[in-house]
Structure 1
Amino acid sequence: METSKKNHRTEMDNTAFLAKFGRVMKLTLYIKNHYWLIGLSVLTGIFNKTLPVLSAALVAYVVGTAASGATAETIIGYLVVLGIVVLLRALFEYLEMYIAHAAAFRMLHDFRMMIYRKLEQLCPAYMIDKKSGAVTSTVMDDVEQLEWFYAHTLGTFFIAVLVPAAILIYMLSLHWLLPLVLIPWMVLTAVTHLWFRKKADTQGREVKESLAEVNAETIDGVQGLREIISFGQQSPYLSRLVGKTKRLNEAQVKDGKRLGLEQALIKTFTALGMLSVLIVSSQMASSGVIHESLYPVAVILTVYAFNPLLELMEMITNFGLISASADRVFSILEASPAAVDRVTESPARFSLPHIDYQKVSFRYQEKLPLVLDKISFEVKPGETVALVGHSGAGKSTCISLLLRFWEVTGGSISIDGVDLRDMPQKALRETISLVSQDVYLFNTTIRENISLGLPAAGDKDIEKAARAALAHDFIMEMPDGYDTIVGERGAQLSGGQRQRIAIARAFLKNSPILLMDEAVSNLDTTNEQLLQIAIKNLQKNRTTLIIAHRLSTIMSADRIVVLDNGYVAESGSHQELIAKDGIYARLVAIQASA
């Protein structure tokens, strides 16, 4: 029974290893645009590894022939050949390093672009249960780890087979006993890593996961430093970071111990192999079985027979880390987006759209409860509708579904009778302008942040949009006007200024549908009143859906839809809903008392 369990575990380990190996080798599928460069890299690598063997063998032969009394003319001839080989070796050393890394870095560039384009399809749904630091670690650290595979692994496989095979064939031509003595030690060297592969895979995965956690925690700490300090949480945060760093250190130490033992065994087998050939070849030379000049050649060739294998072992030693990085990269590239285009043709541009939610249901994950349960409401052409309700009622979800960040679980959302699923996401989002409460500004100029709404816009159009959003005056008071760098996440600007930049983006984009998520929440009363005028102008000739909390914003809407626990509880104008004395009336009363 115990033997059966052991065999079963071994079979499972072998299956897992083959799966890991297949996962890493899947990386070769992504080199199709660089086959010629990879092929050239392998070819130059073979020359680069073969020429040192040839030069060392020539040196050993020259020493041997000189010791056995060869003429000066003969030795000079060999030295000329040796000089040419040394020059060629230097050339191919340069070519291999340059071409291999040029190919690797081009493919890393391709991978980062593929991951970013994939994240564009996946987000924001993909990030709902992910840490941004962990995803950043994959985009940067894990992709960088693949450089080892592309620059140092593909060529190493070929070289590890071809160079030792050529050396063994030459040694066989000297005497059949020499390769027979050497091969067992080469086999032991080659299989050493297989004895440790399970630990290597496990420890490699632990190191990568721990590193990702440390990166994520560090990024959270840097981005939330103000909150950490203001709430006096420096010690708890530092303790948490120390704990994750300690886990990383323990994982790295365990991986280092295993690696040390593995390397010690490999070096031992290598030394014993060279010692065996040294003893056997010296006996052969002394007894006249081989010529004395070939004795140093046999010894030198033994050293170079192991070198490609040692490089292969070094590559296999990193296999666990490469495999873990490949897993994390493919976890993004192979993830299924929450919304998938089923059509490619865009509908005719909407002039003044009609938005219709018909019995829309939605849950974020299959095991979670419904966030929306068969809700129905419409936003008529040119109408402004405010979504109102307690936190968690489903207001933001309605906006996200209209943007197709997720697909509806049931029912449908349509624009002018066209189901959103029958509309390419790119075309849909060109139809919509979003002004969110949590405005994200990039660490670049105010001009570039506004032009996010329309990248091809000229300076006059950008200024016109800023004026319409009541942002021009404060922009001109900045040190460099529109060329002022706003800092990370717009740190140089106040909350109200950031929101006006977002409204300027919407003015510039000039889309027929406007979505607003409490766009005046960070403004004082004076600025709010001024900005309400700008928003009213922005809403003209547009169909507008607003998530509203402030009474002033709610009352400015043409119609109000009240959500409660995923249902449409009430709908009507402010006066109509007050008269009903229902949920909306209670919400207004609470705000008025506050």
Structure 2
Amino acid sequence: MKSMTWLIHLMRPYWRRILLALILSTLTITSHIGLMTASAYLLARAALHPPILDLMVTIVGVRFFGLSRAVFRYFERYVSHDVTFRVLSQIRVKFYEGLEPLAPARLFNLQSGDLFSRIVADVEIQQNFFLRVIMPPMAALLVLCGYGLFLANYDLRFSVILAAGFLLAGLGIPWIIRSLSQGAGRRLVSLKAELNTQIADSLLGITELLAYGQARTQLNKIERTNEKLAHQQRRIARLSALSSSLTGMLANLSMWLILVLGIVLVEQGKLSGVNLGMLALGAFSSFEALFPLALVPHHLEQNRAAADRLLELIKAQPAVTDQESVSPEPKEMSLAFQEVSFRYGEGEPWALQRVSFRIPEQGNLAIVGASGSGKTSVVNLLLRFWEYDEGKIDWGGYSLRDYPQQRIRDSIGVVTQRTHIFNATIRENLLLANPEAREEELIQAAQKANLHDFILSLPKGYDSFVGEGGFKLSGGQRQRLAIARVLLKNAPVLILDEAVEGLDPITERAVMEEVYQLMEGRTTLIITHRLSGMEKMNEILVLDQGQVVERGKHNELLQLEGFYRKLWDNTVQRPPLEDV
């Protein structure tokens, strides 16, 4: 029920539009009833050959109801879909607002395909909530009351027959369909999410699937899931056909019962014969309001399942929360870890254990170690993606927890191993760091990153598209673009997390030269397991299994013949000792 309450709460600001849509829907069905009753009355009167002037009002009524039905239907669809799309936009905004604080900690184990399914498919399902769950029962009730009162003017038993038919069609048939469906709506949502996840994973890993000959196996897996989904959809289609047939049968039965009762009343002289067809056809056409009701439980189940999946993330507690107190102003751009310990979850091994270091303002520090030693965990804590368990992180004389997350991230420029390049132009990718940057600032950042000449060689220059993930760029060009982006941000703190990983030695040296220029005047932390250029660092920390095992300058650590020396021998072509 929480999910339904949440959806209704989102709809409350639009209650005037909802009321208007409901009125228009009722008027549309009323016009259909009016068209059928006026037509039946006109034919019955015309059979008696009255003067043509006696039929003029009825003729005008037929024309009016025929036109008004189309007009009311148009405006009903316009208003109801307007409400629906406004609510969907609110859902998307709420979903993103709930999702953004969770990244990346709470989304750590969530598959990208499943997340995409929630953002697209589960949100789209909510369009049924107003159109197919809320409005149809309310419109049917208004039609029953309106036409039931009209029938009561002739004989109360007509209203009783209509009410019985409405109750059977509006309550009995949905109960039957719900019993037969047995959770089909929830399974439909689950299977759609599973299929989207499998397709997304297949597209992302298509190269590996082809290389290892597993494309057919993955395709078979997708086909099995698709067949399960198609089976559920066929089942829903059969239930929809059954509900329409049963509703149509009750509509015909109600019409015939009213017709038989009307014949009896005509024979008794209590009802005019010209009204007989009008009353019967009016009752039959009023069942138009009931045809959508049979699948209301199915749509409601789908809505609840999809809304539960959305609320699971929207209501999730982020791993890091900001304090309500006023943010302090850092005294200086220094960073310090004091006996910091951290792990990614209860029962997980420690990623960092009692780590301590200090980077003075405009100073630099390198953290090196083998893969899995805890280097990237330091970056995650500094950016407040995760919260440390023990110790203290100090930034400018205050605890890191005293600052809002955005305040910290605005002051830090990050170049990572896998910098994401958006499927947009070079200009748009650069402006991500500073949307207000002027053209000359853009060019200056690209020049400092040695990227400007390459950009000018492209047909459209800075307006050239780089493709999905920047696939039109080489590895070195992507890293230079990342460096230019950091330069444009002009943050006082710089973090380089495996910034040259995956580059060839020549490109690596060129990029590192640009990095050293970027470090000037900034508090810098370099995370790497490649040791070229370490002689330029003020201090080096060696991590192993989350612990600091060695620290010092490059030459000092080489003389220790410990972990650092082993890393040096394994990752760098060892120069002669006198050159070290």
- TM-score range for the pair, normalised by the shorter chain length: over 0.9
Aligned to 1:125: 105
Structure 2, unmatched stretches of 5+, are 575-580
Amino acid of the structure 2 residue aligned with 1:154: I
Aligned to 2:443: 463
Aligned to 2:385: 405
Amino acid of the structure 1 residue aligned with 2:141: V
Aligned to 1:5: none
From 117, 124, 129, the equivalent of 1:144 is: 124
Structure 1, unmatched stretches of 5+, are 1-18
Are 1:169 and 2:149 an aligned pair? yes
Are 1:280 and 2:261 an aligned pair? yes
Are 1:353 and 2:353 an aligned pair? no
- How much has 1:195 moved relative to structure 2? 3.6
From 371, 375, 379, the equivalent of 2:359 is: 379
More deviation in 400-409 or 338-347? 338-347
Whether the 8 Å CA contact 2:367–2:542 is kept in 1: the answer is yes
Aligned to 1:154: 134
Aligned to 1:549: 529
Are 1:237 and 2:218 an aligned pair? yes
Aligned to 1:10: none
- How much has 1:85 moved relative to structure 2? 3.6
In 1, the alpha carbon distance for the partners of 2:92 and 2:473 equals: 31
Aligned to 2:459: 479
In 1, the alpha carbon distance for the partners of 2:394 and 2:133 equals: 52
In 1, the alpha carbon distance for the partners of 2:400 and 2:55 equals: 83
Whether the 8 Å CA contact 2:174–2:295 is kept in 1: the answer is no
- How much has 1:86 moved relative to structure 2? 3.3
Whether the 8 Å CA contact 1:343–1:422 is kept in 2: the answer is no
- How much has 1:502 moved relative to structure 2? 0.3
More deviation in 446-455 or 355-364? 355-364
Aligned to 1:567: 547
Aligned to 2:191: 210
In 2, the alpha carbon distance for the partners of 1:39 and 1:132 equals: 39
In 2, the alpha carbon distance for the partners of 1:553 and 1:128 equals: 33
User: Per-residue CA shift, 1:11-41, capped at 9, x if unaligned?
Assistant: xxxxxxxx3xx63353121124433322322
Whether the 8 Å CA contact 1:103–1:151 is kept in 2: the answer is no
In 2, the alpha carbon distance for the partners of 1:460 and 1:344 equals: 39
Q: What pairs with 1:263-412 in structure 2 (closer than 5 Å)?
A: 263-343=244-324, 345-348=326-329, 352-412=332-392
Whether the 8 Å CA contact 1:42–1:154 is kept in 2: the answer is no
From 13, 37, 41, the equivalent of 1:57 is: 37
More deviation in 497-506 or 443-452? 443-452
In 2, the alpha carbon distance for the partners of 1:260 and 1:355 equals: 68
SS at 2:478's partner residue? helix
Q: What pairs with 1:11-90 in structure 2 (closer than 5 Å)?
A: 19=1, 23-68=3-48, 70-90=50-70
% identity of equivalent residues = 32
Are 1:193 and 2:174 an aligned pair? yes
After superposition, the Cα gap between the structure-2 partners of 1:272 and 1:502, relative to the gap in structure 1 and judged at 3 Å, is same
SS at 1:442's partner residue? coil
Whether the 8 Å CA contact 2:46–2:55 is kept in 1: the answer is yes
- How much has 1:465 moved relative to structure 2? 0.8
Q: TM-score, normalised by structure 1?
A: 0.90
- How much has 1:563 moved relative to structure 2? 1.9
Aligned to 2:233: 252
Are 1:509 and 2:492 an aligned pair? no
- How much has 1:430 moved relative to structure 2? 0.5
SS at 1:381's partner residue? coil
Amino acid of the structure 2 residue aligned with 1:432: I
- How much has 1:143 moved relative to structure 2? 1.4
In 1, the alpha carbon distance for the partners of 2:415 and 2:179 equals: 51
User: Per-residue CA shift, 1:498-542, capped at 9, x if unaligned?
Assistant: 111001111111101111111112333233222222111111111
SS at 2:56's partner residue? helix
Whether the 8 Å CA contact 2:38–2:62 is kept in 1: the answer is yes
CA RMSD, Structure 1 to Structure 2 (Å): 2.4
Whether the 8 Å CA contact 1:343–1:423 is kept in 2: the answer is no
In 2, the alpha carbon distance for the partners of 1:276 and 1:139 equals: 50
- How much has 1:257 moved relative to structure 2? 4.3
- How much has 1:199 moved relative to structure 2? 5.7
- How much has 1:287 moved relative to structure 2? 3.5
SS at 1:405's partner residue? coil
Whether the 8 Å CA contact 1:201–1:320 is kept in 2: the answer is no
More deviation in 232-241 or 434-443? 232-241
Whether the 8 Å CA contact 1:202–1:320 is kept in 2: the answer is yes
Are 1:228 and 2:206 an aligned pair? no
Aligned to 2:578: none
Whether the 8 Å CA contact 2:29–2:288 is kept in 1: the answer is no
Whether the 8 Å CA contact 1:23–1:326 is kept in 2: the answer is yes
Q: TM-score, normalised by structure 2?
A: 0.92
Amino acid of the structure 1 residue aligned with 2:185: G
- How much has 1:593 moved relative to structure 2? 7.5
SS at 2:21's partner residue? helix
In 2, the alpha carbon distance for the partners of 1:270 and 1:49 equals: 15
After superposition, the Cα gap between the structure-2 partners of 1:263 and 1:409, relative to the gap in structure 1 and judged at 3 Å, is farther
In 2, the alpha carbon distance for the partners of 1:200 and 1:512 equals: 60
Whether the 8 Å CA contact 1:388–1:562 is kept in 2: the answer is yes
More deviation in 292-301 or 188-197? 188-197
Aligned to 1:103: 83
User: Per-residue CA shift, 1:156-209, capped at 9, x if unaligned?
Assistant: 232111111211222222112223333333222222222443664621111111
After superposition, the Cα gap between the structure-2 partners of 1:324 and 1:101, relative to the gap in structure 1 and judged at 3 Å, is same
Q: How many residues align?
A: 573
